[in-house]
Amino acid sequence: MTYDSIIIGGGAAGLFCAFSAGRRGKKVLVLEHNAEVGRKILISGGGRCNFTNIHTKPENFISQNPHFCKSALSRYSPQDFVNLVQKHKIAYYEKKLGQLFCRDSSRAIVEMLLAECRAARVEIKTGGSVTGVEKNNTFTVETSNGIFESKTLVVACGGLSFPKIGATDLGYRIARQFKLKIVETRPSLVALVLDGSSYSSLAGVSLDTVVTAGKTSFRENILFTHRGLSGPAILQISNYWSNGGSISIDLLPDSNAIELLEKGRASNQNIGNYLSQFIPQRFTKDFAERNFPNKPLSHLNKKDLEKIGKSLNNWQVKFRETEGYDRAEVTLGGVSTAELSSQTMESKKIPGLYFIGEVVDVTGWLGGYNFQWAWASAFAAASAI
């Protein structure tokens, strides 16, 4: 039996593409190597799935071609997905900054996608790995569960993030087999490991900061870990950090630290105690001991205060590496957008071959953007199959 399309990968993009094509009367088969579909959806958003962001714009994505995502995002909006969620009566809420989460479990999103697949008569086979792909007049996909044929092939098997739940490089291998370029991949939205002495005694301490790498800044919390820094601001800036480089952290984003210290000179407090009014005391004590004499402010001259103030508003932190794919939310890089049609996600070289979702060199910020790319890129491909 020949299908209209075989979709490799039963995650967010794969399932969405499957039922969207199925609705158009296409005969679709989804191949998922895990025992169940949607495993990454289930663990996302702390188990509540941050399924979109209502403020999604092309500027929220990183790619060698920043314009590539515009077409797909314009044709399937966050509101379109919200309408689907409402149709299935899934309770949701906005956490912050446009981030929409399930009120209960992320399983509701998986069940919604499966219900749509059933309604569209999509066939899903789980627990079988793909061992080979060939193209003649049709695509032939060899798996441990048998051989299947289709007119088109959609690669939706994600990136390298979370190998413990089945992430592999299959999508990149298929792209290379067909001589498609790959933009170098690395862990994305991931904690960073400090270069030099760690702040392990501060593990668990969180601070509101502005974190900057190059010309890009994010205002969010940072979180100290046993090996380095995490928290939303660090995960965001990890996409802009260059290996071995440093980033700037403003520990007092609402204040000019020099002026703040000048105001405190009249008090007889030492620096650590004075700053603990504005920054958690566990941090100020440790930071003061490492970076300057923890003396009373009244004992410091103007030059001392300027030096300390600058270190607070512009703390230069150097990192050695990321925490790796085991801890990364997604994968940066992937199948080059130069190889694909931005309208349809189809390969320019190989007719009928499509790449969607995380496997493509389009990576969203933290906060629901990567799910929106999954839905939008899947919809673009499904409309063309």
pLDDT at site 268: 80
Q: What does the pLDDT read at residue 287? A: 86
Q: What is the pLDDT of residues 180-196, one digit of tens each?
A: 999 999 999 999 999 98
One of 3.90.190.20, 3.40.718.10, 3.40.50.1580, 3.50.50.60 is the CATH number of 2-187+327-384, namely: 3.50.50.60
Closest CA to 309 of 345, 244, 353, 264: 264
Residue spans of the domains in the chain: they are 2-187+327-384, 192-322
Cα separation, 88 vs 129, in Å, equals: 31
Domain 192-322 listed as CATH 1.10.3720.10? no
**pLDDT value of residue 291:** 81
Alpha carbon distances (Å) from 274 to 208, 209, 310, 354: 18, 18, 16, 59
Residues with Cβ within 8 Å of 96's Cβ and at least 6 positions away in sequence, in order, are none
- The reported pLDDT for the residue numbered 209 is 98
State pTM to two decimals: 0.95
pLDDT bucket at 11, cuts 50 / 70 / 90: very high
Higher pLDDT, 176 or 264: 176
| Residue range 47-61, pLDDT digits in tens | 999 999 999 999 999
Structure tokens at 40: 């990454």
pLDDT tops 80 at residue 293: no
pLDDT at 107: 98
Please indicate whether residue 325 or residue 294 has the higher confidence score (pLDDT).
325
pLDDT, tens digit, 9 for 90 and up, residues 301-316? 889 899 999 999 999 9
If pLDDT is split at 50, 70 and 90, which confidence band does 144 have?
very high
pLDDT digits (tens, 9 = 90+) for 95-116: 999 999 999 999 999 999 999 9
pLDDT at 294 exceeding the cut of 80: no
Question: Is the Cβ–Cβ distance between 341 and 348 less than 8 Å?
Answer: yes
**Mean pLDDT, the chain, as a whole number?**
95
Task: Give 164-220 pLDDT, tens digit per residue.
Answer: 999 999 999 999 999 999 999 999 999 999 998 888 899 999 999 999 999 999 999
pLDDT at residue 288 greater than cutoff 90? no
